[in-house]
Structure 1
Amino acid sequence: MNQNQSSGSSGKQIPYKNLAHDEFRLLSIDTLPDPSQNDATQLSCGIENFRRSQYSTVPAGEREEADRLLPASRKVHYDYSSLFRQSSQNKEYIRSLRSRQTTQPSQSNGRNLGCDLSTRYIALSYNLHAALLELRGPDWIRRGIKAWADALCINQDDLDERGQQIQSMRDIYANAWQTVVWLGAALPSTGTAYAAVLWLAREMGTEDRFKMFIEHHKAATFHVNLCLVNIQPVLAWHSDVFSALRSFFARPYWHRLWILQELAMARTDAPILCGQHCMSLRDLWTASKLISAHEDRAGAHISTSSGIFGRLQDLRVSRDRQLGNDLGKPSRQWGLILRIMAMRDLVPRYYLNLSEVFTAFTEYLVRNNDLTVLRLAHSRVEGIRLKWKTSSLMKILPPLSYLRPTLNLNLIVPTVRSRFQEVSPPCSHKLPSWVVCWICSPAPSLFLPGLYRADHGLSEFETRGRREGDTILRTAGVFIDYVATLSAFNALEADPNYPYNCPASRTLPNSYGSLPALREALWRTIVGDSTSHGGSPTPAYYAILLTPDFWAPRGVHSLPSPGLDFSLGAFMTRDKRLILGGYELRELIPGANRYLRRPRYYRHRGRFREPLEANTRDAHTWATNVLAWRRLVGTRRGRVGLTVAAVHEGDSIVVLKGCGMPMVLRPSDSGH
């Protein structure tokens, strides 16, 4: 369609008309006269102006219709039994699944398939040519339903029309007969992902039932070291199922800002289409609640599972924080779906620009004495060497360096090339430093779920907010300390000066009073004084993290990771000289020096050690995840802390009223 004319469903040209105040445009999708000669690329549509009042009256009882899923032209059968590993615990359940799925009668998609839909329209969430091709097949189109898609139904070149229509979008989605979500073309893994979601929603349904199922049908996950087996109950799916769900939640659709409105206004039976696959928003919502409720049993394995690494790699160690590949981005999008469903009563304001929206949202929380959102504020992080390219000769150098430590390797090392990538690029939206940008990405560190109470006792302090038109946040707080020493935050950091120790680092005091107390502060810090279960207090047995085997450069328990290595052994290798409270890191781990004195490629000789206990492995895995993309720091007064990667020496550590976690602040150019 151009700006001057559009084509009606009858094929005749209709002059282009501006929209009146109560009007909007709708698409009429033409069906093919001969379905047997279906052309996968040809599409015929008409577009006309209509009064919104014609489409705002819903017949009595229609909104209560039980099922308004898209009656797909091609029915897809999902075999739930194919999701599960074959094991003694699962055999009976798999057999019962197959029996029930073969005997269940087919269900009808809707009760009023013969009703007239000529005065109804569907709102398309994420408008694509392929989506319109898919929509022309179902019975809806033959019954006269129309479609609304913002890119086609709003003249994007008319700023006045676009502004007026955007302010009406909430009503457009609310009055639609149905909102249709189009995720894009199907991938080979899409069918598996849909089967997993539908199984969670329809076979499990409740958190208690899902928990009971996991306990009775548990599986074990393997670390990269074959001697270590994680016997913690884990959902007994094939690894390909976790990867399929990860790919599903990583689709670009879930990262669009507009879905906050589109899904919030949609009916709960809104169809979510991906190629020929279809599920309801209600099914996805139910599945997301189950995944979120059992993050350690299912969610963590979805977000970290990826086909680009070996299957024996530990499923929870830093794989979701790799840079340079889309599959490596954190994809816990089921949490976003839960938040969207919880905000269905909010009324959006469309007249604000992006900067004003982000600022107003952050300021709203601050005005209510809730500064927890500042945990998400971030600064730029410098680049790293992302990928190394080298010849096959480099592969034999480690053994050579082990056999001939005095060999001059400079004569045979080929040219090594690498490229740099910023971990956290600077925000381009001109926001105050205290405002969270919901588009730009911070460093991909794991969010700590613990309940922190650093501001306990500051209730008498007054928070003043900010003046009208001012970009400076004025709040109450207490200064604690200055940053003095910093660890490297990844193995390939571009700056070779890390670990960084201030000139007086060896004379820094130990604020904890004794070496054992400093060591306790260290192990509590590297797990964020939290556990993967969120509200649980850190148990005393986490002190096992001071065991030197965990910190061996390439020991049995070091859990090496492909790409950027965040294992404790790698952390010790690059930060052994980091000074905390007057001691080097290698001095704080009893017995660590005996490993560090041996060649780098030392491996434990003799028989493999006994498998780690599940609790011990939880502590070790959690520490590895918490340390990834963060810096371990020491302060001038001898404290130990864990901070964001953007921290510098001399930054202030403060506690703010309303924020349970201490914050790192740096003076701006204006001195604030």
Structure 2
Amino acid sequence: MQKEITLSIEGGLYSRLDKAADEIRLVTIGLCLPGLPLQCKLEKVSLKDVKPSYASFVLSNGLAAQTPRQAKERWAVSPRGARPDTPPKGANQFFGSVPAPNHYRFKWGDFAALSYVWGDESIRRDIILNGKVVSITANLEGALRELAGDDAFGSRYKLWIDAICINQVDDQERAHQVQKMREIYSGAWAVIAWVGWSRPSADINHAFQFLRILASLQGDQRNLGKLQAESGEPSRGTYFCALNELMRQEYWFRLWVIQELIMGASSTVLRYGNHVIDWSTFCKGISVLYHGSNWTIKDLELRRELKFRGIGENVAWQTHSIHLVHMDLRPLSRFDEEGTNRVGFRRLLDISNSADCRDVRDKVFALVGMMNSVVSADIMKAYEFEPPRLFAAVARAFITHTNTLEPLRHGNPWGHPEPDPDTIYCAHGGMPASYTFLNDWTLLECKGFIFDEVVGLGAPEAGYFKWDKQRIIQCPSWRSAYGDSKATSSALWHTLLLSIVAKGERAQQCHSALLSLPSSFLAALPQFQSKGWDWLVGQRGYYFKWEKWRSAHDYFMLGEERLRSFFTDIIPQDAEELTYTEVYRSSQRAVQQRRFMLTKNGYFGWGPDNMFETDQSKELRVGDKIAILFGCSTPLVIRPAGDKFEVVGEAYVQGFMDGEALVLMESGACYIQPFIFR
């Protein structure tokens, strides 16, 4: 369960929850005096104990089949939603997330849910809960003390806090409450995202104001360079530093809060100390950074602020958190609110890998609220399993629910295809999955065939900024199966684009322009400038991916020819900016977290790579087999392990992504066989 709660709680605080009555526990915040423990009250309430007026409203407006969030939003804007004349004391912008008393949905009132990080467990503070002393982390106590100042949670408007509202020593209750996380966060009147505590003089305090300015911009106003020149906004010497500091907060790196933000959706308010911003404004402000050339401008502005303040320029943007909000949380919260989508297995793995949690099992349970309800219910049966068996149960649940073997290629989720490969490729040629689970789910038996083998490898990534060309493995005997140099050249640029460009569209002949994409930004810049390609001119800080990959592989041998011999640094006079933008973006995506490989039968493609792996025995290696498994959209790199196999990861092999390998099976060059994966 979340954050490995270790509360020291006296007996008698918890009595068993009545599942039939759909009971949960909620907190009200009482007396808050400086230097004295915060006074709080814990009580049980029933989520079935709704007011007749709310029940009638839901039925009369056809909302019974809608999500709890959709029903609440409609109720919030109904005439009953008129707010009281006087907002709660100190509520400030938080007031919008506090319902009017006549708008409570339940006979006992209403509730919000708190989203926060546990923080340093060694720094603890006491609160008084139902007259008993309870020790909680300082981060949680600080959040409750700040909320106490709003005077919003002192009576009938209550607060759900996992650390306090769940009996952490009762494993059965914890399992049950984990299953209710989606219902609680999506059904709460508001989700309060406690990002952290602010010092009055901290620069980070300007971050929310900056985001409000950005969110208010329309059309051409969203150009940060133009805004800066015309009005002096947005920088006052603190805005970009403040936003970067906000996105560096621990909050964005904890796995549980991702699910909580998505389920809170538009009802979420973010708080940093007494600074507040609503989720929609926050996301809209972040999105401006992705408009036009703003992504590059933000780098320049941050360096300018740092220089003005005498701070070294080695401070980099926390892009991980910015991408998380814009590319994941924003669209996922919208889908969740509309009730139209659930997160797929691959995206769940990507999210899980990108965030931290204290218990490895939380890599599963922190995300169950984002899964299809049938899948999550199946997984929750394994709540008390040890990690290996738990992860096997997760794979089984997704395989049986989708009736495909797509989760096998997700098992090593390196690389970032856009969109998901199963919407682009069909390496299995339409052959349906055939599988059986053995040995209490820990083994999977399925059918397919091996059609090739890895014989040469390009350089692996060595961290984010370089490739280790010393670890290239050449194959002098390799000869191209694609044909002459021209045919091999065509296969090469298709491979380096994964045969796709923007929005998953298949690459066309015009995208052979990749072969004249300059190998360095030094060679590219004057050509981009002379053609007026402003967006590509602004890629100085990002061109390194293509530049470093090319530099590491220029002397990689494709038979008797060096890879560099297929390229030129000269862009043709009649070149089109859109085409070069597409191949640049697609190549940037393709070379990340993938390793170029040659196959025994004269083909080439990509296998999985992991820049963070230190154990070379776990990496892609010469001798690994390449197989087609029925029901899996891409080839897989697999490795014999005694009489069984292990999945190394998904593969791209040029010429075998659309069912072409079935011809080898039909001709007798390959044969169907059973595979048992462990």
Task: Give the shorter-chain TM-score range.
Answer: 0.5 to 0.7
**Match 2:192 to one of 167, 177, 180:** 180
Counterpart in the other structure of 2:76: 65
Mapped partners of 2:603, 2:17: distance in 1: 63
Q: 1:325 to 1:158 in 2, by over 3 A?
A: farther
Q: Which runs of 5+ in 2 are unaligned?
A: 1-5, 58-71, 118-139, 227-232, 306-313, 340-371, 527-536, 610-618, 646-678
Partner SS state of residue 479, structure 1: strand
The one-letter code of the counterpart of 2:442 is: T
Distance in 2 (CA, whole Å) between partners of 1:459 and 1:65 is: 48
Matched, 1:125 2:125: no
SS at 2:435 equivalent: coil
Q: Is the 8 A contact 1:25 1:47 kept in 2?
A: no
Q: What amino acid sits opposite 2:496 in the alignment?
A: I
Instruction: Provide closer, same or farther for how the CA distance between residues 237 and 545 of structure 1 changes in structure 2, counting only shifts above 3 A.
Output: farther
How far did 1:499 drift? 1.6
Q: CA deviation at 1:612?
A: 9.0
Mapped pair 1:47 → 2:21? no
Task: Answer whether contact 2:143 2:194 (CA < 8 A) is retained.
Answer: yes
Q: CA deviation at 1:255?
A: 4.4
Matched, 1:551 2:516: no
State the identity as a percent: 21
| Residues 237/44 of structure 1: CA separation in 2 closer, same or farther (3 Å cut) | closer
- How far the C-alpha of 1:339 sits from its partner, in A, is 2.9
Rate the CA distance shift 1:455–1:220 in 2: closer, same or farther, 3 A: farther
Contact 2:207 2:242 survives alignment (8 Å) = yes
Secondary structure of the structure 2 residue equivalent to 1:179? strand
- Contact kept, 8 Å, 1:123 with 1:179, in 2: the verdict is yes
1:276 matched residue in structure 2 = 274
Supply the distance in 2 between the matched residues of 1:150 and 1:659 (Cα, whole angstroms): 39
Corresponding residue for residue 438 of structure 2: 467
Counterpart in 2 of 1:258? 256
Secondary structure at 2:471 match in 1: coil
Q: What are the within-5 Å matches in structure 2 for residues 143-542 of structure 1?
A: 144-159=156-171, 161-163=173-175, 165-166=177-178, 169=181, 172-173=184-185, 176-185=188-197, 188-189=203-204, 191-192=206-207, 196=211, 200=215, 213=219, 251-259=249-257, 262-263=260-261, 266=264, 268-281=266-279, 287=284, 291=287, 297=291, 301=295, 327=319, 331-334=323-326, 335-343=328-336, 346-347=372-373, 348-349=376-377, 350-353=380-383, 355=387, 358-367=391-400, 368-378=402-412, 445-449=415-419, 453-455=424-426, 458-467=429-438, 469-490=440-461, 497-501=470-474, 505-531=475-501, 533-542=502-511
Distance 2:624 2:320 in 1: 31
1:574 and 2:572 are equivalent in the alignment:
no
Cα shift at 1:176? 4.4
Q: Are the aligned partners of 2:489 and 2:566 in contact in 1 as well (CA < 8 Å)?
A: yes
Q: CA deviation at 1:449?
A: 3.0
Counterpart CA distance in 2 for 1:260 and 1:446 is 19
**Distance 1:632-1:4 versus aligned 2 partners, 3 A rule:** closer
Give the residue type in structure 1 aligned to 2:269.
P
Q: 1:458–1:237: structure 2 CA closer, same or farther, 3 Å change rule? A: farther
Distance 1:574 1:268, change over 3 A: closer
Following superposition, the deviation at residue 366 of structure 1 comes to 2.5
**8 Å CA contact retained: 1:250, 1:331:** no
Structure 1 match to 2:655: none
CA distance in 1, matches of 2:449, 2:294: 36
Q: Are residues 465 and 308 of structure 1, via their aligned partners in 2, closer, same or farther at CA, if it must alter by over 3 Å?
A: farther
Q: Partner amino acid for 2:472?
A: P
Is the CA contact 2:30–2:38 (under 8 Å) kept in the aligned structure 1? yes
- Superposition deviation, residue 627 in structure 1: 1.3
2:100 pairs with 1:112: yes
**1:256–1:507: structure 2 CA closer, same or farther, 3 Å change rule?**
same
Closer, same or farther in 2 for the Cα pair 1:299/1:18, shift >3 Å?
farther
Structure 1 pair 552–24 and aligned structure 2 pair: CA distance change class (3 A): closer
CA–CA distance in structure 1, aligned partners of residues 270 and 625 of structure 2: 48
SS of match in other structure, 1:73: coil
Equivalent in 21, 24, 28 of residue 17 of structure 2: 21
The one-letter code matched in structure 2 to 1:571 is W
Q: Please tell me the residue identity of whatever aligns with 1:637.
A: N
In 1, Cα distance between the equivalents of 2:245 and 2:214?
17
Alpha-carbon distance between aligned partners in 2 of 1:189 and 1:511, rounded to the nearest angstrom:
58
Deviation at 1:454, TM superposition (A): 4.1
Change (3 A) 1:190 1:512: farther
Q: Return the offset for 1:249.
A: 5.9
Q: Displacement of 1:146 after TM fit?
A: 3.1
SS in 2 for 1:362: helix
Residue of structure 2 in register with 1:600 after alignment: none
The letter for the 2-side match of 1:583 is E
CA offset at residue 513 of structure 1?
0.6
Residues 495, 522 of structure 1: CA spacing in aligned structure 2 closer, same or farther, 3 A cutoff?
Answer: closer
Q: By how many angstroms is 1:2 displaced? A: 7.3
- For each residue in 1:4-32, what CA deviation from the matched residue of structure 2 results, as whole angstroms up to 9, or x when unmatched? 65xxxxxxxxx834313336544331255
TM-score by length of 2: 0.60
Provide closer, same or farther for how the CA distance between residues 542 and 3 of structure 1 changes in structure 2, counting only shifts above 3 A: closer
**Shift in Å at residue 266 of structure 1?**
4.2
Q: CA deviation at 1:132?
A: 0.8
Q: CA deviation at 1:649?
A: 1.0
Q: What residue is the counterpart of 1:649 in the other structure?
A: 622
Deviation at 1:648, TM superposition (A): 0.9
Partner of 1:632: 596
Closer, same or farther: CA 499–240 of 1 in aligned 2, 3 Å: farther
CA gap of 1:490–1:247, structure 2 versus 1, over 3 A, is same
Instruction: Please say if residues 482 and 652 of structure 1, whose CA atoms lie closer than 8 Å, have aligned partners that are also in contact.
Output: yes
User: Displacement, 1:615?
Assistant: 3.6
> Deviation digits for residues 312-356 of structure 1, max 9, x if unmatched?
9xxxxxxxxx99996557833342443355356654544533746
Q: Distance in 2 between matches of 1:131 and 1:506?
A: 63
Deviates more, 1:518-527 or 1:271-280: 271-280
Paired residues of 1:632 and 1:641 also in contact (CA < 8 A): yes
TM-score computed with the length of structure 1 as normaliser: 0.61
Task: Structure 1 unaligned segments of length 5 or more: list them.
Answer: 6-14, 34-38, 78-106, 205-212, 222-235, 313-321, 379-441, 593-608
Would you say the 8 A contact 1:25–1:154 is kept in 2? yes
Instruction: Please give the per-residue CA displacement for 1:44-83, whole angstroms capped at 9, x wherever unaligned.
Output: 12233x3323883245249412379996826469xxxxxx
Instruction: Kindly provide the amino acid, as one letter, of the partner of residue 542 in structure 1.
Output: H
Compared with structure 1, are the counterparts of its residues 557 and 527 closer, same or farther at alpha carbon in structure 2 (3 Å cutoff)?
Answer: farther
Decide whether the 8 Å contact of 2:453 with 2:624 is kept in 1. Answer: yes
Distance in structure 2 (CA, Å) of the matches to 1:508 and 1:562: 36
SS at 2:481 equivalent: coil
Matched, 1:664 2:657: no
Work out the CA distance in 2 between the residues paired with 1:461 and 1:539.
29
Which structure features the higher share of helix residues? 2
CA contact (8 A) 1:491 1:565 kept: no
Task: Say which SS state the counterpart of residue 159 (structure 2) adopts.
Answer: strand
SS of the aligned residue for 1:500 comes to: coil
The aligned amino acid for 1:551 is: S
Contact 2:299 2:317 in 1 (8 A): no
State the secondary structure of the residue aligned to 2:476: helix
* Helix, strand or coil at the partner of 1:122: strand
Give the whole-Å Cα distance in 2 for the aligned partners of 1:305 and 1:472.
49
| 1:554-577 Cα shifts (integer Å, max 9, x gaps) | 645599999999444433433233
What is the DSSP-based 3-state SS (H/G/I as helix, E as strand, rest coil) of the residue aligned with 1:135? helix
Alignment length (residue pairs)? 504
* Equivalent pair of 2:458/2:556 in contact (CA under 8 Å): yes
On the 8 A contact 2:556/2:563 being kept in 1, the answer is yes
Q: Deviations over 1:169-189 (max 9, x none)?
A: 555546645432222235745
